Amino acid sequence: MKVPAKHTYKYRAVYVVNGERVVGFDNERGKGDHCHLDGKERPYCFTTVEQLVEDFVAAVAEDIVVLAELGLLGRTDAKSWVNRQTHYDREVASGA
């Protein structure tokens, strides 16, 4: 069964660790808007591109915190990612 999109965007955002998808948001033809979190595919309610980016970044940030807590990601790696994200947030806020 095809699920028609209620918007004209085609998107795919993915966060991969060691060759495996950890977080993904996309709207594959026939499936509609959905996300991949914790190894499960779930429906996603697309509203705007900006919200999509925020939701994706939040999901990746949550995963990075978990990896760091489990000792699977060094503190330096996690801090580096947070610093890059903070820089991105400032650029989006300023319209750069």
Domain boundaries, the chain: 12-94
List for the chain the helix, strand, coil content (%; round to 5): 45, 20, 35
In what side-by-side order are the strands of the sheet with 40-43?
A: 12-17, 20-26, 34-37, 40-43
pTM, two decimals, is 0.70
pLDDT above 70 as % of the chain: 67
Rounded CA-CA distance 24/21 in Å is 7
Q: Is the pLDDT of residue 36 over 60?
A: yes
pLDDT value for 47: 94
Model confidence pLDDT, tens digit, residues 42-69: 999 999 999 999 999 999 888 877 767 7
